[in-house]
Amino acid sequence: MTRQPKITFIGAGSTVFMKNVIGDVLQRPSLSGATIALMDVNPQRLEESEIVAGKLVKTLGSAATIETYSSQRKALEGADFVVVAFQIGGYEPCTVTDFEVPKKYGLRQTIADTLGVGGIMRGLRTVPHLWKICEDMMAICPDAILLQYVNPMAINTWAIAEKYPLIKQVGLCHSVQGTAFELARDLEIPLDEIRYRAAGINHMAFYLKFEHRQADGSYRDLYPDLVRGYRDGRFPKPSHWNPRCPNKVRYEMLTRLGYFVTESSEHFAEYTPYFIKDGRPDLIEKFGIPLDEYPKRCIEQIERWKGQAAAFRSADNIEIEESHEYASSIMNSVWTGEPSVIYGNVRNNRCITSLPENCAAEVPCLVDASGIQPTFIGALPPQLTALIRTNVNVQELTVAALMTENREHLYHAAMMDPHTAAELDLDQIWSLVSDLLAAHRDWIPEWARISKNVQAA
């Protein structure tokens, strides 16, 4: 009998995300008999996920086996693939802290999970837990592939590569394929008629090409259409999923840079110093910037989950739609050798020659039986490299703080953040970081903790 893969899901209490990934996995013949090991520290969420996974198996008539674990090490035994999805500290208290403390200084944010003071703190909370997974993987399943779906993606990927260079890892996001869908919708062109190539860092990759296949087999550049549509007021079209989040920031930056960025306008507004400014409500209104957006989403998701959890418990079968996540495609390609191409976050290793060799780059990757193989991009256009470097600076200093356990580098990272530096002076930045470290005391490594009202030396 052919051996079936074992897929371990760390943070399986993220039930909706688990459902999407496992639903994709079970629809692939090569993976439908897999052992699915679900692990979470929250018994109630783990039980809810076990119910959902069991009903996915039943709905699809799959031969998969569902196992649950509270022990990470036990869950990892024999794993071929390890999917990670968790949020250390949750919405309360940690996300609330990341928004409310900076707000006292007049520093407003939209998502705060990738860069800025919110992203720095989230990385500080998250990386030690990812390192513990890597430590266990090296001891128990060193050949398994780590599929990491945790923010801040670039900081996490960079930190894993620095401390555990032998771990086979990829950071996965849906921004490249998701944005391509949005642009196709604006242009009213079927997505399968569009060819694109993107590269950069997570949440700040750019479409280097975005083209429409013509009847004669040639390709036409779509950037002039996108610029014209924005200047004519036809693009962006009203959001199809969140009316609070129009897409104006990215279109405006397209007209300045010549390229479209792959992560949302609400994210991009806080990665740059141009859009969120204290005392400039005109900018917020002009570009439709949704301040405090992530806390609003968290509250909505928590409320929505209450209804979903009850519905899942009572349902005999669960409706399954294919998601746009890359996880099942990667697993299928590695397991069968059938090649695929995904966009992954990996150690740069000079794939993008204009960015640091050790940073985390987001590039197209070939996947087959040999694993995940990043493709060569070369140098990015200089204006894109320059903007990306402003974000890489923050990531690099946050990783340096984690690797050397030097708390001062957390302050240095905040100093270099484009949005923070545009709003606050040095004394404010130092005081804000100290306040955040004190507020997050129970969630961060011991070397980073400070007592309330104590400034760093």
- What does the pLDDT read at residue 67? 97
Q: Compute the mean pLDDT over every residue in the chain, rounded to the nearest whole number.
A: 95
Asked, for residue 49, whether it belongs to a domain, the answer is no
- What does the pLDDT read at residue 318? 85
- What does the pLDDT read at residue 236? 97
Question: Tens of pLDDT along 122-134?
Answer: 999 999 999 999 9
Contact indicator for 289, 106 with CB cutoff of 8 Å? no
| Residue 453 Rama label (left phi>0; alpha psi -120 to 50; beta) | left
Asked, for residue 313, whether it belongs to a domain, the answer is yes
Selecting among 174, 267, 412, 440, the annotated active-site residue is: 174
What is the C-alpha separation between 455 and 457, in angstroms, rounded? 6
- What does the pLDDT read at residue 1? 62
- What does the pLDDT read at residue 454? 55
Q: Give the residue-averaged pLDDT of 356-376.
A: 98
* Residue corresponding to tokens 């390192």: 131
Report the Cα 395 to chain-centroid distance in Å.
14
* Annotated binding-site positions for Mn(2+): 173, 203
State which residues form the domain around 220.
Answer: 91-107+172-446
Minimum mean pLDDT range among 14-23, 366-375, 426-435, 444-453? 444-453
3-state SS, residue 343: strand
State both tokens at 403.
């690797």
| Residue 406 pLDDT greater than 60, yes or no | yes
Contact indicator for 338, 329 with CB cutoff of 8 Å? no
| Residue 275 pLDDT greater than 80, yes or no | yes
Q: What percent of the chain has pLDDT over 70?
A: 98
Asked, for residue 370, whether it belongs to a domain, the answer is yes
Q: Give the residue-averaged pLDDT of 38-45.
A: 95
- What does the pLDDT read at residue 402? 98
* Annotated binding-site positions for substrate: 151
* Annotated binding-site positions: 151, 173, 203
Containing 344, the helix (H) or strand (E) segment is strand 340-347
* Residue corresponding to tokens 């008629």: 193
174 is catalytic: yes
Write down the H helix ranges in 315-373.
Answer: 327-336
Asked, for residue 26, whether it belongs to a domain, the answer is no
Q: Give the residue-averaged pLDDT of 188-204.
A: 98
Asked, for residue 79, whether it belongs to a domain, the answer is no
Q: How confident is the model at residue 316 (pLDDT cuts 50, 70, 90)?
A: confident
Q: Give the residue-averaged pLDDT of 49-55.
A: 94
Asked, for residue 77, whether it belongs to a domain, the answer is no
What is the C-alpha separation between 12 and 64, in angstroms, rounded? 16
State both tokens at 211.
């083209």
What is the C-alpha separation between 183 and 40, in angstroms, rounded? 37
Asked, for residue 230, whether it belongs to a domain, the answer is yes
CA-to-CA dists, residue 17 to 22, 65, 109, 395, angstroms: 9, 19, 25, 26
What is the C-alpha separation between 117 and 99, in angstroms, rounded? 9
Q: What is the DSSP string of 248-315?
A: HHHHHHHHHHSS-BSS-HHHHTTTSSSS--TT-HHHHHHHT--TTHHHHHHHHHHHHHHHHHHHHHH-
Number of domains in the chain: 1
* More confident position, 442 or 309: 442
- What does the pLDDT read at residue 456? 45
- What does the pLDDT read at residue 165? 98
Report the Cα 158 to chain-centroid distance in Å.
13
| Residue 10 pLDDT greater than 80, yes or no | yes
Contact indicator for 123, 94 with CB cutoff of 8 Å? no
- pTM, rounded to two decimals: 0.97
| Residue 356 pLDDT greater than 70, yes or no | yes
- What does the pLDDT read at residue 313? 83
CA-to-CA dists, residue 18 to 25, 52, 53, 127, 135, angstroms: 10, 9, 8, 21, 23
**CATH number of the domain enclosing 273:** 3.90.110.10
Q: Give the residue-averaged pLDDT of 48-59.
A: 93
| Residue 232 pLDDT greater than 90, yes or no | yes
Asked, for residue 32, whether it belongs to a domain, the answer is no
- What does the pLDDT read at residue 453? 58
What angle, 0 to 180 degrees and rounded to 10, lies between the N-to-C axes of helices 248-257 and 382-404?
120
Q: How confident is the model at residue 324 (pLDDT cuts 50, 70, 90)?
A: confident
